A and B are shown apart, each in its own frame.
Chain A
């Protein structure tokens, strides 16, 4: 297990390395001149050229990539020959000239918002969908099952921006049950935090709940027909033990994979939900960076989100091996 983990971690480093290259070259080969974006509308060609040189965009792309990588590991200094050099300590993901901020700082400012959004929604959707999924499976074919599956189908077909706008319209604008969302840290103002986050949580959880409810129900139903569940029953175990210890344990384990990956994807930013509720998370940041063609920021966010996914992949694999003894890790 330890050897496997170390090997996976090394592989992860290699993968991340490849990822930096892919992300860097992909975005730097996009049409558009990053130097042009460094000054406003009235910008003389000489200023652009000066900026290009100052920012290193006149260097060959491989050199730029080397500097980018070097920045991640050792830090780097932008505009080193100007009177006000910008020091970016390792791990330096770059410097956004349009916002005059370090990319990592912006990501770290936005990450907590996304973190709370994703984790809160995750708790909501996992708990509701597993409970309702099991409930439906236990009442297979009868009206509670049909009701839950019907709700799931409706939930599945409603886009999240529609539910979001509906909730904003009724809950906030029409009935004034909640104030308009304005993000505050849960450590500063827990009540305000909850009031802001509850609707985004619901919206974000909605689609996933529909999906996971079905998944849970089908998984549990499938395991009910497994031979080992029949064996458990033949042993004379109480129905509760049969359902929880034998059927659910086996049926829900595969959910770990899906849930882990979905959570990781959300931690990288929930674009639509964050935009609807004006939450200053990674999703909003990513959208804005694209709209402003802020190349360093786009690169940084993409790298950050993909790292999360790769890491989640490893965690999920290790967790699965821990939960299912048949999965051998060697």
Chain B
């Protein structure tokens, strides 16, 4: 993990103190609040959170898809030695689709209904490289075959509505990877798909990732898929990152009460079926009126264990629990670990 070679090579993507706020008539919507993380080349980072936790806005900020006129954006986003937030619009446009690509939640609506899928893929080629029409088509065909479209030479001239949901997501993946980007952001890529297709798509992303040496940010609300695909996990809540850890650490030694809540609300096959899922009480905070202290405090079961009501008044910092494990919580570390281990024992063994 901390071998000298790795330490020398800087992470491919490094987000530092990113904040995104949208002024609205009702007040300032703080969608992303002081978010920092980094992903090393070829790795997969999963960003997990509920709707409104700021994960999609974070992704859009990296893609440069945030409307600068509508949003206040501060912080730094470093991609392969280049800072993106300060980049002029035309230079960001040149990076989009070539260095950093994105696939979206709903492949039904993410492809343009009026254009053939082949034309939509070659359009991405022409946007970044001067390639002849024939060569571009051949390249698109090859990529469609690579993402597992059967009879691709026929399907290339189909319209999106002629393809199934899984096929459309494969087309989206082909389109995103056609220019061999360094970073792929997958924003809930399987949420809109059937469960059987979900696994295929995740497997496809994984195999393409190792084939093309791509770094992946997987945005999801589903902790169930994270374990299979991610090297590291960042948990977001109320626009902030509340816990970051390698995947196995997050599953086995989680510390932030929100992460615990997420883990206990995921149904698991290896768990006693008589056990009830335990939902997190309450609702996510309004991004307009975030709680002054810890954003999770209003829903947290353990607020009383922190002396002086600090949870409600003081904003906890994201601090190291271990060298590669960051937690944003006022609870003392030992107490967090104790709570987590008790809970995990219950989850794993039922009454045992």
Contacts and interface: CB of A to CB of B under 8 A. Distances in A.
Given A234-B97, A236-B97, A228 B123 contact: no
Interface in B283-297: none
A235 B106 contact: no
B76 to A, nearest CB: 21
Contacts of A250: 112-114
Among B104, B106, B110, B176, max chain A CB count under 10 A is at B110
Given A238-B93, A246-B112, A324-B113, 9 more contacts: A227-B110, A228-B112, A228-B113, A231-B175, A233-B96, A235-B175, A237-B93, A325-B159, A326-B113
B142 to A, nearest CB: 18
Contacts, number: 69
15 contacts: A227-B109, A227-B110, A228-B109, A230-B104, A231-B104, A231-B175, A232-B112, A235-B96, A235-B123, A235-B127, A236-B97, A236-B98, A249-B114, A325-B113, A326-B159
A223 to B, nearest CB: 10
B21 to A, nearest CB: 18
**Which interface class (under 10, 10 to 19, 20 to 34, 35 or more) fits B?**
20 to 34
A324 B124 CA distance: 22
Contacts of B98: 236
Interface of B: 63, 65, 93-98, 101-102, 104, 106, 109-114, 123-124, 127-128, 159, 161, 172, 175-176
Interface string A248-279: 01100100000000000000000000000000
Given A227-B106, A325-B161, A326-B161, A236 B124 contact: yes
Contact of A234 (B102, B106, B114): B102
B124 A230 contact: no
Contact of B65 (A230, A237, A324, A326): A230
A226 interface: yes
Interface of A: 226-228, 230-239, 241, 246, 249-250, 253, 323-326
A249 B124 CA distance: 18
B159 A234 contact: no
Contacts of A233: 65, 96
Among A235, A246, A250, A325, max chain B CB count under 10 A is at A235
